[in-house]
Amino acid sequence: MNIASYSLLRRLCLLAGAALLASDARATDFTDLWWTPSEQGWGVNIVQSDAFMFLTFFIYGADNKPTWYTAQLTRDTSGNFSGGLYASTGTYYAKPWSTADSTPPAPVGSAQFRPSGSNAYQATLAYVVDGAGSVVKEVERQTLTPIPLGGTYVGGLAGALSGCSNAQPYSYTYDLQVSQSASGTATLQFAFTSPVFACSLSGALIQTGSLYRIDGAEYKCFQNGATVLSTSASIFELKATAQGIEGRWVASYSGCRDSAFFSAVLR
């Protein structure tokens, strides 16, 4: 490999990903519907606001009849969320709302949400109600419907390279074309302008809740009609947003670990 090719490849490495640094700065958003697939009929809705979570449980009481609780959890230094579990009362839904029927939420126990250390779509949910035995469930995001990702976007990425000498953080912009097939595959084509080159990542989509991932995506970069990088990558937390798309990927090549975060808005 000549000096020019090595310089371009190294820049491609730096461009490729957000990141070991970015992932530390940007915590995962766990807002979704969570359940245990083998126990259909109950679940937990989670809405996250920065380091705070509001949970609504739809579960069953000792009489096997529907009941529900809410929880207010905050994130600790380990990345887990914990806090109080509450019960509340209100007006019968078929009647006009009356504040006289409503009481402040009464604490009835505690809850904890512990995200998986290896991915963003699995977690352990633990809670105690009225001093009864602790309930511990392995939960995951529940998929409702396929979510379209295809479109033309413009955005930026930032990241870092590890395991190599002279690694440094970066930020760059790009045009992005995402195609999604009916068979469940997707291709992400990034076009950069400085220097002029393009990279593509493609593979089979796996959806869990609102997130997609691609295991072993084909990862290639091109310049002047020539392939300058050909390897594989894992794409995580690929998600359609209200204005566009976001995600991250990780790849290893030439003794380096390339890790990236990207975000883009629809054109």
> Nearest 10 degrees: CA dihedral of 253, 256, 240, 78?
140
Select the more confidently predicted residue: 259 or 143. 143
Instruction: Give the span between the Cα atoms of 74 and 127, in whole angstroms.
Output: 14
Token digits for 60? 């069953």
Q: What is the mean pLDDT of residues 178-185?
A: 96
pLDDT digit string, tens, across residues 71-120: 999 999 999 999 999 999 899 999 999 999 888 899 999 999 999 999 99
Query: What pLDDT shows up at residue 22?
Result: 35
Across the range 139-166, mean pLDDT stands at 90
- pLDDT above 80 (res 136): yes
Q: Average of pLDDT values for 36-60?
A: 97
pLDDT at 20 over 80: no
pLDDT of residue 176: 98
Average pLDDT over residues 58-77: 94
Kind of pairing between the strands at 211-223 and 196-204: antiparallel
Q: Are 83 and 74 in contact (CB under 8 A)?
A: yes
Question: Would the pLDDT of 148 be above 80?
Answer: yes
Q: pTM of the full predicted structure? A: 0.86
Q: What local confidence, expressed as pLDDT, does residue 161 receive?
A: 77
Tens-digit pLDDT profile for residues 202-233: 999 999 999 999 999 999 999 998 999 999 99
Classify residue 209 as left (phi > 0), alpha (psi -120 to 50) or beta: left
**pLDDT band at residue 9 using 50, 70 and 90 as cut-offs:** very low
Query: Does pLDDT of 259 surpass 50?
Result: yes
pLDDT, mean of residues 238-248: 96
Beta-sheet pairing, 211-223 with 226-240: antiparallel
